[in-house]
Amino acid sequence: MNRGGRQDVVLGRTWKHLRSAAVMSVSERTSQTTSDAARRVRRRSNSLLLVLGVGFLVFAVASAALYFVLRPDTLRIAVGPPGSDDDKVIQAIADAFRTESRTIRLSPIKTAGAAEALALLGAGKADLAVGRGDLEMPAEAQTVAVLRKNFVVLWTPSGRATKTSKRKQTPKIKEVADLAGRHIGIIGKTAANAALLRVILSASGIEADKVTVTHFGTDHLDELARDLQLDAFMAVGPLDSKITSDAIAATARIRGEPKFLAIETSEAIALKHPRYESEEIPPSVFNADPAWPDDKVETVSVSHLIVARKTLSETTVAAFFRQLFAVRQTIAKQVPGASHITKPDLEKDTELPVHRGAAAVIDGNERTFLDRYGDYFWFGLLLLSGVGSAAAWLRRYLNRDEREENTSHRKKILAMVSSARTAESNQQLLGLQHEADEIIRETLACYDDGAIEQEELAAFGLVLDLLRNAIAERRATLPRANVETVRAATTASRGSGGT
């Protein structure tokens, strides 16, 4: 075989070798591309799940916070007895709160009386209670509002005129001190009225056991008026109370016009017993013609209070206080007793302190929205920061394979740098460069997916520059014959491909 024929055989073998290497390279690249695509799909799926999880968590926290802020608070309020004026007023307030979708709702608890209502408050079975100010109060009870003010009304019958004389009988009892040894009829069967009478008698210098007391129900006013053994009468209620007016009218009809007794020691009673207040009954309040009374009468009063536990939230009590006075005029049209609701006096020294929530609204020192919820905002920011940190950590954890692979690529390129510096042919350098191109493509895909950070990409760029410089330096030092051999092999492959 001549020399030209041998060269053709060598070129043919070289071409077959290159072609098989190319086929293997294409196959490997196809397999690697498929693997890379699957890995990127898995990484994107993990990232999507992470985003969805964090979004759901933020939504859940926001929804819970919104529900907590906007949901109405339901307060249990104990009141009694059923059907009383207090019960009617509280029920009207509860209906108004429910109708107008207020932030505070009331759930009335019916009790046998005010004492039982206060007992429920003390036992923690009620948040609010309606009770008379001179009853035994729970240790943690504090005033929220004055539901009504009850005035003590004491009167004696003047006696009816006889047939022989039309002159009115002069009453035998002219002042409270004359009640010693007398028989007094008290309207209402609560023991608090009898206790109040004993305080009045004691302040007037009369021993309580020298006075006989009989209680009459509010539905036994005629029996009260017809009992001739009674020397005087006592009622405790609002000045516009129908019960008090009816009782005075009944006794006047049967026993003669009333003589109202002034409690001249009212100021001393108020000083010794802060639960009571010194008041005056205005003239003609019970009747205009004839005027009952015909002049102002000094007396004492005791308030029916809406009280709350000291531990009840200041914000909750303030909201209830605002709502109460917002609907007062509206419910007063339905229940006249609602017009007696007043704010507690912060300047008076009373036994029962005013709740800080009501006091803040009265003084105008109520805390602002930021004052109340500023701590929650800071906590929310810290929580979001923690959630963000946790999400970042979870993201890095899910992308740990890609980061490890990136580290492996950097080490591989460093190894390729050593190979480039010892390469014996330009063909080997081209192979290293092709391999580096595949690594670059995969690394950039990981960076686009967020699997690696910019700092890691910068470190990858450093080792890549080393490889490029090593390839360039080695290519410059390779013998020219290697370059010509590669060119000849490339030309032969093109000729064969053209054939």
Q: Express each pLDDT in 336-386 by its tens digit.
A: 889 999 999 988 777 799 999 999 999 987 766 566 666 777 777 787 788
Q: Which of 14-18, 31-35, 406-410 has the lowest mean pLDDT?
A: 14-18
**Length of the chain in terms of residues written:** 499
- Report pLDDT for 40: 57
Q: Which amino acid is at 179?
A: L
pLDDT at 256 > cutoff 60: yes
How far, in Å, CA of 211 to CA of 41, rounded? 98
**HSE on the CB side for 90, CA within 13 Å?**
32
- Among residues 348, 372, 452, 382, the alpha carbon closest in space to that of 40 is found at 452
User: 149-305, which class in CATH?
Assistant: alpha beta
pTM over 0.85? The answer is no
Using pLDDT thresholds of 50, 70 and 90, give the confidence band for residue 56: confident
CATH for the 73-145+309-371 domain, from 3.90.1170.50, 3.40.190.10, 3.10.350.10, 3.40.50.300: 3.40.190.10
Highest mean pLDDT among 25-29, 265-269, 483-487: 265-269
Q: Are strands 232-237 and 141-157 parallel, antiparallel or unpaired?
A: antiparallel
What are the start and end residues of each CATH 3.40.190.10 domain in the chain?
A: 73-145+309-371, 149-305
pLDDT at 98 > cutoff 80: yes
- Report pLDDT for 94: 95
- Among residues 233, 262, 260, the alpha carbon closest in space to that of 247 is found at 233
Q: pLDDT exceeding 90 applies to what percent of the chain?
A: 50
The DSSP secondary-structure symbol of 320 reads H
Check residues 88 and 366 and name the one with the higher pLDDT: 88
